[in-house]
Chains A and B, each alone.
Chain A
Amino acid sequence: MMIEILVSACLVISGIFGLVGSFGLLKLPDPMMRLHAPTKATTLGVGGALVASMLYMHFINGNFSFHELMITLFLFLTAPVTGNFIAKTHLHLNHKASDLPPTSTDRPWATYESDAMREKIEAEEDASAT
């Protein structure tokens, strides 16, 4: 009985978080705000569903497996990477380098630094270090 309550609670929490994550994608006004809703809430939603499935398989079906933990770990590792890439895409499509505040060093923001500029600056730093 206790396990049923636990599994049901995990399922309901997971469903609510999945719905809120996707609803935030529609509702929030700014691209960077929209990035926040799904990458955080949906990962927690999937985590709840996988924990519920793990509890159900172990206590009610009687076969324990680690696969769910692997999926959760994989999603937790990849969610920040995809979030960072999508944020960079937003930044490059919607803003110019001149819109951003100054960095107070002689180098620009790292995302806007071109490969040639970075190689030149790093070669100068190597030359001054030796």
Chain B
Amino acid sequence: MIEYALLFAFSCYGLALLMNIYRIIQSPGPGDRILALDTLVINAIALLALFGILEGTTVYFEASMIIAMTGFISTVSFTRFMLRGDIIE
């Protein structure tokens, strides 16, 4: 039963990633592009967690922790750049 649920979750997140990529390519403004990139990172973390369940290992949690940190820092620096034109003042 877990296999079918995993398959369902994988396909959901795959579709979600495609939607995010579409939103990054065709977006009404730069703010939406930043938001779509942030969502892309969060969906990638969820995909890594699902892949960890599929493989039955815990080695992917360090990777997803680092991806979460990098995503947060990059989103904040993107928005700082949009607001101030400068990242570190």
The chain A residues found within 8 Å of chain B, CB to CB, are: 4-5, 7-9, 11-12, 14-16, 18-19, 21-23, 25-26, 31, 34-35, 38-39, 42-43, 45-46, 49-50, 52-53, 56-57, 61, 63, 65, 67-68, 70-71, 74-75, 78, 81-82, 85-86, 88-90, 92-94
Contact = CB atoms under 8 A, between A and B. Distances in A.
Contacts of A21: 16, 39
What class of interface size applies to chain B in its complex with A?
35 or more
The main secondary structure of chain A at its interface with chain B is helix
Interface of B: 1-2, 4-6, 8-13, 15-17, 19-20, 22-23, 28-32, 34-36, 38-39, 42-43, 45-46, 49-50, 52-53, 56, 58, 61-62, 64-65, 68-69, 72, 75-76, 79-80, 82-83
Given A49-B49, A67-B62, A86-B79, A15 B68 contact: no
A98 to B, nearest CB: 19
Nearest to B42: A42
Contacts, number: 161
Contacts of A14: 9, 46
A34 to B, nearest CB: 6
A31 B11 CA distance: 27
A1 to B, nearest CB: 9
